[in-house]
Structure 1
């Protein structure tokens, strides 16, 4: 049974306390960088990027940061930021 309250609830999108809009406004990933863009891959630990159809996660730990993913056979693969930049990367999975 449908009521006026049900239809009003379905159309309601709560705004953030600062009035910036709904959560769906911020869910999209940042635009992908242009190939060869200055600055290279992100540097925030636990960031996920895609390269050659595979996800890579930035591990910060002690020592040098590294991008961890898997190769075509499912084996662990570590890349530096420079290697990832040469291969090309994106915040979104390519089709």
Structure 2
């Protein structure tokens, strides 16, 4: 017997990508990591994910950092 959480497509488990999936590469894409949004910025051929830490200070992550920390396309509730 499955519970509602197991069958609900909006549950965080259903929307989380596999750990081997790379973050998107389209500029201005938004992903969520650790409950915070990150936006992909592209400049001079270098991509970085820009967001804020728990104190509101700017943080820049590489795609590898984002993949290591875990990310989703939707905000976890």
Same fold (TM over 0.5): yes
Aligned twin of 1:41: 23
Q: Distance in 2 between matches of 1:70 and 1:77?
A: 5
Aligned twin of 2:36: 54
Q: Structure 2-normalised TM-score?
A: 0.76
Which residues of structure 1 form unaligned runs of 5+?
A: 1-30
Q: How many residues align?
A: 63
Deviation (angstroms), 1:79: 0.1
Aligned twin of 1:66: 48
CA RMSD of aligned residues (A): 1.2
Higher CA-based Rg: 1
Q: Distance in 1 between matches of 2:45 and 2:24?
A: 17
Alignment of 1:1-95 (within 5 A): 31-37=15-21, 40-95=22-77
Which residues of structure 2 form unaligned runs of 5+?
A: 1-14
More strand by share: 2
Higher relative contact order (CA 8 A, sep 6+): 2
